[in-house]
Amino acid sequence: MTSRIAFVTGASRGIGRASALALAAAGNRVVLAARQVDKLEQVAAEIRAASGDAFVVAMDLSSAESIRAALAKASKDFGRIDILVNNAAITKDGLAVRMKQQDWDDVLSTNLTGAFVATQQVLLGMMRERWGRIVNITSVVAEAGNAGQANYVASKAGLIGLTKSLAQEMASRNVTVNAIAPGFIDTDMTSVLPQEWKDKLLAAIPLGRLGKPEDVAAAVRFLASEEAGYITGHVLNVNGGMYM
């Protein structure tokens, strides 16, 4: 089987990094995209050290031009993109009553519009090849809500709606579109939480631990595989049971 070309956004750390490593370990050639090229180069070096193929491209998810340029370059260099993992996201938390319009716009623009623009760039190629996998990383809060994160929750809930609509549009071309909703994962984003919050979180997780980026990456690898060809429009919870 020819190796697939996977494109992972936000691949410099956390879930994106783990997903890129997992996809490479499964035999895919991986394009790593994020703003910090130096960090991407470190991930690429890890993949190459394990005899994998990795390529780095700078991309700013808040800029449609940057997204289009990055995916155009990857598509030109490799002929196609078979797998797209929309992982990159930002937070700008605050209570809705005081939330600045700019903080709302920035989070929606990056997390939802950015994922849509990236997806739009790969659809025609996937339709032509009659094979494709799109995996959107959403969040447990998209399903459960979370005080102080109206913008982030709305963006991640929007991603679930986008997933289901695209799944219906693309099914006849053998392109699957799924989402993964991680719970609280031990990453840079959660490491800044105060210990009392972490203790409260752990009490709400039946499995009694925070998730690891590798827990999510395993789900990404599966949904991007041949074996997951009959799964589309699905939201896979990877949350330790905190929301059922």
Which residues participate in catalysis according to the annotation? 152
78 near 31, Cβ under 8 Å? yes
Six token digits for residue 193: 């939480």
Distance (Å, whole) CA 220 – CA 125 = 21
Distance (Å, whole) CA 124 – CA 143 = 30
In Å, the largest CA–CA distance within the chain is: 54
CA distances from 9 to 4, 5, 23, 31 (A): 16, 13, 13, 9
> What sign for the dihedral angle of Cα 211, 61, 133, 40?
negative
CA distances from 141 to 138, 145, 181, 239 (A): 8, 5, 8, 10
Note the Cα 147 to chain centre separation in Å: 23
Residue with tokens 């409260």: 200
149 phi/psi in degrees, rounded to 5? -135, 40
CA distances from 192 to 121, 142, 197, 206 (A): 34, 21, 10, 22
